[in-house]
C-alpha cells in the first residue's frame, strides 16, 4: 500500500506561487524540491492553470445560473456606477428620488 504524504502538494504549490508570482513553474518546482517536496514543473503548471480557471469561473445563483453584477460593467467600480446613475438620472436630486422609489418598491415586494 502506498504511503500517504503528510504535506498537501497542491497547497504548497499555491503558497509558493503566491509568494513568488514572478517565478516560472520550473523555478517553483526547484524551490519546493529544496524544501523536500518532490514535484515536477508540469504539475506546478497544472495547478497554476487550474487556479486561473477557477478565478474566471462565474458565481452561481440559487437556480444554477451565473449571477451578474447589476450596474457594474467590466471593471467598473462602485463609485463609477454611482456617478453613472447620477448622470443618467439628470442630477443628484433626481438620483436620490430614483433610489427612494426603488427602496419603496423593495419594501412592497418583500
Cell numbers found for residue 92: 443628484
- For residue 2, being part of any structural domain is answered with no
Count structural domains, the chain: 2
Residues 22 and 52 in one domain: yes
* H, E, C per residue of 70-82: CCCCCCCCHHHHH
Q: What Å distances lie between residue 109 and 81, 98, 104, CA to CA? A: 24, 17, 9
Q: Are 48 and 25 in contact (CB under 8 A)?
A: yes
Give me the mean pLDDT over the 58-81 stretch. 69
pLDDT confidence of residue 73: 53
Does the structure show a pLDDT above 60 at 74? no
- For residue 85, being part of any structural domain is answered with yes
pLDDT tens track for 25-67: 999 999 999 999 999 999 999 999 988 887 777 767 777 777 6
pTM value?
0.49
Residues 51 and 82 in one domain: no
Q: Are 50 and 25 in contact (CB under 8 A)?
A: no
pLDDT tens track for 83-105: 888 988 899 999 999 999 989 99
- For residue 49, being part of any structural domain is answered with yes
Domain that holds residue 105: 78-109
DSSP one-letter string for 38-54: ---HHHHHHHHHHHHHH
- For residue 61, being part of any structural domain is answered with no
pLDDT tens track for 17-33: 999 989 999 999 999 99
Q: Are 41 and 33 in contact (CB under 8 A)?
A: no
Residues 51 and 90 in one domain: no
Residues 49 and 85 in one domain: no
Amino acid at each position: 500500500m502506498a504511503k500517504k504524504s503528510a504535506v498537501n502538494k497542491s497547497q504548497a504549490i499555491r503558497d509558493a506561487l503566491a509568494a513568488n508570482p514572478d517565478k516560472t513553474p520550473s523555478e517553483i518546482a526547484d524551490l519546493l524540491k529544496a524544501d523536500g517536496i518532490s514535484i515536477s514543473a508540469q504539475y506546478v503548471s497544472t495547478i497554476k492553470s487550474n487556479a486561473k480557471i477557477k478565478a474566471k469561473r462565474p458565481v452561481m445563483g440559487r437556480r444554477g445560473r451565473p449571477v451578474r453584477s447589476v450596474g457594474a460593467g467590466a471593471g467598473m467600480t462602485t463609485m463609477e456606477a454611482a456617478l453613472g446613475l447620477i448622470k443618467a438620472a439628470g442630477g443628484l436630486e433626481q438620483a436620490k428620488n430614483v433610489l427612494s422609489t426603488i427602496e419603496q418598491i423593495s419594501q412592497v415586494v418583500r
